Amino acid sequence: MSKSRCSVFILVLHLLEGALSNSLIQLNNNGYEGIVIAIDHNVPEDETLIQHIKDMVTQASPYMFEATGKRFFFKSVAILIPETWKSKPEYMRPKLETYKNADILVAEPNVPGDDGPYTEQMGNCGEKGERIHFTPEFLTGKKLQQYGPQGRAFVHEWAHLRWGVFEEYNNDQKFYLSKRKIKPVMCSEKFHGENIALKCQGGSCIPSSCRIDKNTGVFTKECEFILDEDQTEKVSIMFAQDISSVTEFCTQKNHNKESPNLQNQKCNLRSTWEVIQESEDFKKTTPMATQPPNPIFSLLQTGQRIVCLVLDKSGSMGGGDRLQRLNQAGKLFLLQTVEQGSWVGMVTFDSVASVQSELLQINSKTERDKLAKSLPTVATGGTSICSGLRSAFTVIRKRYPTDGSEIILLTDGEDNTISACFKEVKQSGAIVHTVALGPSAAKELEELSKMTGGLQTYASDMIQNNGLIDAFGALSSGNVADTQRSIQLESKGLTLQNAEWMNGTVTVDSTVGKDTAFLITWTTNTPQIFLLDPSGKKQEGFVVDTNTKMAYLQIPGTAKVGVWRYSLQATSQTLTLTVTSRASSPTLPPVTVTSKMNKDTGKFPNPMIVYAKIHQGAMPILRASVTALIESANGKTVTLELLDNGAGADATKNDGVYSRYFMAYDENGRYSVKVRALGGVNAAKGSVMPKQNGARYKAGWIKNGEIKLNPPRPEINKDDPQEKQVCFSRTTSGGSFLTSDIPKAPIPDLFPPCRITDLKAKIQGDNLINLTWTAPGDDYDYGRAQKYIIGISTDILDLRDKFNNSLKVNTTDLIPNEANSEEVFVFQPEDIAFENGTDLFIAIQAVDKVNLKSDISNIAQVSLFIPPPTPPETPSPFPTPDICVNSTIPGIHILKIMWKWLGELQVSLG
């Protein structure tokens, strides 16, 4: 193993405007506290929506309490109300609650009419989700027939969010073969209903007999398993929470392990209850003897942003150009990042604190310039962080309560008294964002961010990495819409030798261009600056500050769409370039790169992961070039390509979330993360895909032997003209994290190949089995594995639990490809009776050069089906006229709908 690959950490970059979405949820005496439900800024004002939210949570709490064996209930919920809604006396100012850290978002649907609740899940089985999404139409009860009561659907989504379980249905494969029977994908297998083909167009559907695909032996895709309304089965909430009898999660006893759904694929055939039992929540609780109280609600309304800069000017800030760099980064924040209408103050500290500016409201360039002139210019004295924080509280309280205010704290010095003000910080209700500058910043600094939900960042002394400017550029408000946030298009640096040039391009796409600014910094002498707009016109008017060693140009109006070219020339010094902008229109969401880390600390050799999401509103951006730049305390930077291939660390292919394992750490301490994303020739805007992790859409139901149909779920037009090439450039800070327990070199190779998660199998001619999967690496998804072990069995649990004893396929000629390549392997089953109706289960293990083995892959299934002779078609037993949705088909008795032409093949009715 190379020295650069010293340990494994997975860092997770996600989607909440350059930062970790720090949920405030806590489990206290079986009750969940600190839940934040935010109403999106674009939702029209409707006070009744607040009551509907309360009703949903109140209904969900006892349902979840009984479903979890009297373990969990909802104790307290904060509802965030948009600033644009009318204020009311009962609406309080938020404390730590923000749109950025909201657990549930109420927003208009991504696709008109598609009001299904869903949960963003980027991680693996048992890992918490990101956020639940509801629409106003769903919450107000207009989708009861499609999804059932809102409270039950909320519990379904909560299981995704909190416990990391997955769906027990499958919209892509609704039926499967088992022991020569066609079975619907569901859990448990005790539901009763009917297989019915629905041919839908517009707002109406025509039911007919299901047809069998002669190649697969299962029903064609038009076929649905329609449930009887009256059931007695109690499980499972992750399959059909809308059925009144369903009050429990699937357990090991009643879980359908053969069902080809996400729960089985991602959770290694474990039931939802088994996964829940392994959660931290479950381990911290015991069943309650009494009924829980009703949830408590607080109504919060966001207001103007209040932020105070708390800046270290101690003696150590005088070294390494730190004070000068602070001025450069501070000016970017004050001139560009902080939003219009915000209130901003400034405090500096060394051994004592000094107020540089009381709160000023940013209404024009005048206030921005005045605050920029207050930035510290002299470094002297010791370091007293608590003095700075207390002084900031005083500044804020002169005009506003500290609840919901923000403090941006920068320091480079050690301070062993910082814990003395932890209690005051907690009680203040303020959010503290921390910027650690250099390797000696106070070790406890990040605790302030953790306890208040703030962003933690780190910047080394390597000026060319532009870390300090990136950190301040990431500090946009957590409560404004995407269209109001400052977006970083470029962040680049270079140390020049002799009279060299720093050349490059920045793409201004049509979704941005307002308030576009170019910031250039240097370390010695003013460079030559050439900036050309897309038409080739040279841009004049840079404001040059020789004291701070920076030049700043704001493009008037909206910057021209296209490629901007820059050339900077200097002699033997370091230059940096930063370009920021805002959305070009208040109604057009900008292309956004957002990032998050799954953990803020990691211990060797426990893995951390890395994710990054690129999207424009609800549209994922596909086929972009995405890299993570990870910088250690000594300034060493590793560039890591992130992938959206649905393998290794990436949970879902082509969803706009790019992920990768990372293992290039060589020392303990702080690391910073930057994500760069480029869209060019290959990048494209994808369709809004149907959400994988959401409540099942009920196509219809059967009542008293009669079929009732819902409207068909809104179709997504995959030929939408919006699906086109997308050219853009973005960078964003991914915050920072700490590592520990990394051994001294040489680092032992403790890193096996990653688990294969996308194994697929199908029958091809002459009973051959075709396998496809994405190649893992020697170390997780890096390099090349040494070999594969393929096991097969006719018993799915035997294969999972006794893989080493399973029948093995001859893989002598199967040489692993490089990680993330597509693997294809075709084999003929031997030493096993593979005949018509045989169900065969297959799994793979990868082995590296030191004989470390991956976990066993997801289990793929094939069922040998030899089609019978094609019989003549029989007339449909259903009426032929068009049948309007939500109508009843009279006189059709379920027992009469039989498939006489199936021959020997038995059909299970569920």
Q: Which residues contact 810 (CB under 8 A, 6 or more apart)?
A: 827, 830
**Element (DSSP H or E) covering residue 74:** strand 73-74
What SS3 class is residue 451?
A: helix
Q: Which residues contact 84 (CB under 8 A, 6 or more apart)?
A: 41, 45
The CA-based angle 294-297-300, given to 5 degrees, is 175
- The tokens of 506 are what? 């920045």
Report yes or no: 1 and 779 within 8 Å, Cβ to Cβ.
Answer: yes
HSE-CB of 495 using CA atoms within 13 angstroms: 4
Q: How would DSSP label each residue in 150-163?
A: HHHHHHHHHHHHHH
What SS3 class is residue 66?
A: helix
Detail the DSSP E strand segments found in 423-532: 431-437, 456-459, 487-495, 499-508, 512-522, 528-532
Q: How would DSSP label each residue in 21-53?
A: -----EEETTEEE-EEEEE-TTSPP-THHHHHH
Is the C-alpha dihedral spanning 53, 54, 55, 58 positive or negative?
positive
Report yes or no: 410 and 384 within 8 Å, Cβ to Cβ.
Answer: no
486 closest CA partner among 554, 551, 406, 435: 554
The pair phi, psi for residue 394, each rounded to 5°, is: -65, -45
Whether 168 is catalytic: no
Q: Are strands 223-228 and 700-703 parallel, antiparallel or unpaired?
A: parallel
Q: Which residues contact 139 (CB under 8 A, 6 or more apart)?
A: 49, 52, 53, 56, 106, 150
With 0-12 CB in 10 A as exposed, 13-18 as middle and 19+ as buried, what is 664?
Answer: buried
In angstroms, the CA 508 to CA 485 distance is 16
User: CA 239: distance to chain centroid?
Assistant: 23
At how many degrees (to 10) do helices 150-163 and 48-67 cross?
70
**Cα–Cα distance list, 773 to 166, 367, 655, 770, 899 (Å):** 21, 58, 18, 10, 36
- In the chain, the amino acid numbered 198 is L
The pair phi, psi for residue 679, each rounded to 5°, is: -115, 125
In angstroms, the CA 696 to CA 426 distance is 41
In angstroms, the CA 800 to CA 120 distance is 28
- The tokens of 679 are what? 């869209």
Report yes or no: 728 and 505 within 8 Å, Cβ to Cβ.
Answer: no
Report yes or no: 108 and 135 within 8 Å, Cβ to Cβ.
Answer: yes
With 0-12 CB in 10 A as exposed, 13-18 as middle and 19+ as buried, what is 705?
Answer: middle
**Element (DSSP H or E) covering residue 370:** helix 365-372
Q: Token match 């020049």: residue?
A: 496
Catalytic-role residue among 17, 120, 130, 157: 157
**Element (DSSP H or E) covering residue 573:** none
**Element (DSSP H or E) covering residue 327:** helix 322-332
In angstroms, the CA 469 to CA 517 distance is 13
Residues designated catalytic = 157
